[in-house]
Structure 1
Amino acid sequence: MKNLVVKQEKRLSLNDRINILGTSIDVLNNKDTISLVEKYVITKTPLHLMGVNADKINSANHNKLLHEIVNKCGIINADGASVVLASKFLGKPLPERVAGIDLMQDLVRLSAKKNYSVFLLGAKKDIVEATAKALKNKYKKLNIVGIHDGYFEEKEWDKIADLLLSKKPDFVFVGITSPIKEYLIEYLQNRGLNSVFMGVGGSFDVISGKIPRAPKWMQKANLEWLFRVSCEPKRLFKRYFLGNTEFIKNVIKEKF
């Protein structure tokens, strides 16, 4: 891993923050998040837009570098129903879950409306190409200035940085596995990119049509995680069932 210098990001809002198991989280809903993110775009202020769920909080508590990167971000959203429930149990309630895939599509919609430029980075070549096509079909005026798959080695990070510096996108949506995703974003920011970087997990797979999204009733019932596990049990069982058990145990410990 390249030697990363983790720099504290500038916060453009004095909104409240809470702390759950050592991770800071902004008390923001989806609408307020979008308004705040646009301030970063307008002022060309670099931003790592972070979404945390139980798995990310667990991982940060086992990974010092990841913990440092998460907590220095200018905006940190609760992207997990378990995090919102934990906040209420701990007596410092968050307003709602800010789902990463919904936030991404809201920011894409904003970009099409305001002519902000977008770069898609991650997933397999055919998936990121299909994602770009699907977004362009939905938003005719969307300015996608570039795409690149997520299958490259650390020694190629310089080339990725040079590509992004030449394109100067307002938004870079990154669909790469954690914690490499967070390390890469930190590296790219250190190269002087003033973009809004957002890790989007498996959003490219959903938008491209490779995998379905949970039905609306499951989303509203906070059961989207269960649908994801049913679609990819081998990959996600440990993360959600064992990870959530660890998270719940630690939240109860923090409470009492």
Structure 2
Amino acid sequence: MFHNPRLDTARAIPVPSDLPREVAGTLPTVQVLTHAVADATVDQAVDALLQRPCKRVFFLNAHCANVAARDPLYASALRRADHILPDGIGIELAARLRGNRLTANLNGTDFIPALLREAARRGLSVFLFGARPGTAERAADRLIRDIPGLRVLGTMDGYDDAQDEEAAIARINASGADILLVAMGVPQQELWIDRNAERLNTRLNLGVGALFDFLAGNVRRAPAIVRKARMEWAWRLAVEPRRMAGRYLIGNFTFMARAIGQLVPRSRVTDLVKRTLDIALAGAGLMALSPLFALIALAIRLDSPGPVFFTQRRVGKNGCAFRMYKFRSMHVDAEARRAQLLDNSDREGVCFKARNDPRVTRVGRILRRTSLDELPQLINVLLGHMSMVGPRPALPEEVAAYPARALERLSVRPGLTGLWQVSGRADIGFDKMIDMDVAYANSRSTLLDLLLIAMTFRVVLTGHGAY
């Protein structure tokens, strides 16, 4: 155990008794993701931590927030903290997204020495627990050199000394230290403090990460100019690229995406991802299938007179009309003949479908059977009229005949494929189709879209329900 007997006689300065317990030592906070982060100057934070017992004080940076998002035990420990101190540019940027500006960056490497200087002035002592064997002792030597009057009453490493938790707690309590610094890394140090806080006699317990390594000289800090530019993370990435790449490259991006996602409603995020996926798939599809488009166009022109493409007015999201593109699979007088065939529909409900529609051309039957006639709708997807996945785009006269519950299917963009298309297409009755479309509109997600796109290939190959 590290011990400095020449400093044992220092007398503690009592906390002023005229400050109410519920007021003394409190700090204003700013919400960052789901965490209430202290918003204060260094001096204010130091005074708050030393005013009254703080059993759990943790630092929060982007990496910590990412760990908390996937570790419920660590997230719970953060919720029970007396104070969470902001550490790093990521937390500051996340706060700014909510319109807040943090008063100071209270990163542990700079904040803890300031805390210990005031602790020494008040006659308070400290115990160092964690890091590799020998590191806490060297860190203690450095602190005593840098902070006159500081009493370090003991050290333990985070390996052999930490194996017996009961013995470690007894040793810390026996030292009589006022402050405990725990350096075991995130989230082990926070979990250790959270688990044992009420059994410790120390009045202030902090998880301090790599602080001991910096103090002991095991890890070199970034130059002052880099720290001032708030780019210390880039320095650590350059020094330890293999170990820090995941934390700072992938991790920082993940953290900021989560921070932005907290501000944007989940439905907006889903819509943004969906539109990005639509553009990517439709653009790639049009380029890859351009030779097939040329062959289909040639076959249509050779089979029957008329244009290659068929356009028709359809109803899209929120009832907005648009022109939908298809390869022409019918004779040019198909629309004029539609009214004569309505009584011969093979499908119940307002949507007309005939298995042996006389208006369909020879090439058109092949195109419909293979769903190739739908491919030009990739253009509608790029234009934003449609999506890769969604309800079937309806005709205006069909929408005019909709029952009230069917109108909910117009709350999303119509799709090139969708739930009803992969479940039987024309074999699905109108009422069941509406149930499927409304269910999709209420539960759409990127994962569901990808699943339906994958299922579409199977349906197209079998031709089930296509006519």
TM-score of the aligned structures, taking structure 1 as reference length: 0.89
CA displacement 1:113-155 (0-9 Å, x = unmatched) = 2221110111112211111111122234211100001114875
1:234 to 2:242 alignment: yes
Secondary structure at 1:50 match in 2: strand
Whether the aligned pair in 1 keeps the contact of 2:50 and 2:119 (CA below 8 Å) is no
1:60 positional shift: 0.9
Whether 1:212 and 2:224 are equivalent positions in the alignment is no
Cross-structure match for 2:49: 37
Q: 1-side partners of 2:95 and 2:45: how far apart?
A: 18
Secondary structure at the counterpart of residue 134 of structure 2: helix
Distance in 2, Cα, partners of 1:47 & 1:11:
17
- Which deviations, in whole Å up to 9, do the C-alpha atoms of 1:227-249 show, x marking residues without a partner? 11122222211011111111111
Determine if contact 1:128/1:147 at 8 Å carries over to the other structure. yes
How much has 1:32 moved relative to structure 2? 1.0
Residue 28 of structure 1 corresponds to 40
Identity %: 25
Query: Deviations along 1:85-135, whole A, 9 cap, x unmatched?
Result: 111122122212111111111122122222211101111122111111111
Alignment-derived partner of residue 150 in structure 1: 158
The change in CA–CA distance for 1:144 and 1:154 in structure 2 (over 3 A counts) is closer
Asked if the contact 1:46/1:196 (under 8 Å) is kept, the reply is: yes
In structure 2, what residue type is equivalent to 1:100? G
Larger Rg: 2
1:108 to 116, 120, 123: 116
Tell me which moved more, 146-155 or 59-68.
Answer: 146-155
Query: Would you say the 8 A contact 2:25–2:49 is kept in 1?
Result: no
| Partner Cα separation in structure 1 for residue 63 and residue 145 of structure 2 | 33
Residue in 2 that maps onto 1:18:
30
Deviation sequence 1:139-178 (CA, Å, 0-9, x none) = 3421110000111487511111111111121111111122
Cα distance change on mapping 1:213 and 1:198 into 2, 3 Å: same
- The range that moved more, 128-137 or 191-200, is 191-200
1:222 to 225, 230, 234: 230
- The C-alpha deviation readout for 1:49-108, integer Å capped at 9, x for no partner, is 111011111111111111111122111111111111111122122212111111111122
Match of 2:253?
A: 245
- Distance in 2 of aligned mates of 1:54 and 1:12: 29
Match runs of 1:39-58 below 5 Å: 39-40=51-52, 45-58=53-66
Match runs of 1:30-179 below 5 Å? 30-40=42-52, 45-152=53-160, 156-179=164-187
Is residue 172–residue 200 contact of structure 2 (8 Å, CA) maintained in 1? no
CA RMSD of aligned residues (A): 1.8
Contact 2:89 2:230 in 1 (8 A): yes
**Which of 203, 209, 225 is the equivalent residue of 2:211?**
203
Structure 2 SS opposite 1:172: strand
Q: Could you tell me how far apart the structure 2 residues matched to 1:253 and 1:11 are?
A: 34
Asked whether the 8 Å contact 2:179–2:202 carries over to 1, the reply is: no
The alignment partner of 1:125 has SS state of coil
TM-score of the aligned structures, taking structure 2 as reference length = 0.50
Given the superposition, is the C-alpha separation of residues 11 and 59 from structure 1 closer, same or farther in structure 2, using an over 3 Å criterion?
farther
State the aligned residue count. Answer: 243
Give the Å deviation of 1:181. Answer: 0.7
Cα deviations by residue, 1:170-191 (Å, 9 ceiling, x for unpaired):
1111111221111111222131
SS at structure 2 position matched to 1:88:
helix
- Aligned equivalents of 2:140, 2:202: Cα separation in 1: 22
Q: 1:243 to 1:133 in 2, by over 3 A?
A: same
Q: Secondary structure at the match of 2:177?
A: coil
Contact 1:22/1:61 (8 A) holds in 2: no
Q: Is the 8 A contact 1:24 1:76 kept in 2?
A: yes
CA distance in 2, matches of 1:79, 1:102: 10
Distance 1:13 1:145 in 2: 25
Residue 229 of structure 1 aligns to which amino acid in structure 2? L
Separation of aligned partners in 1, 2:97 and 2:229: 18
Is the CA contact 2:56–2:193 (under 8 Å) kept in the aligned structure 1?
Answer: yes
Distance in 2 of aligned mates of 1:122 and 1:99: 18
* Separation of aligned partners in 1, 2:242 and 2:173: 38
Equivalent position SS for 2:57: strand
Measured in 1, the distance between the counterparts of 2:33 and 2:147 equals: 39
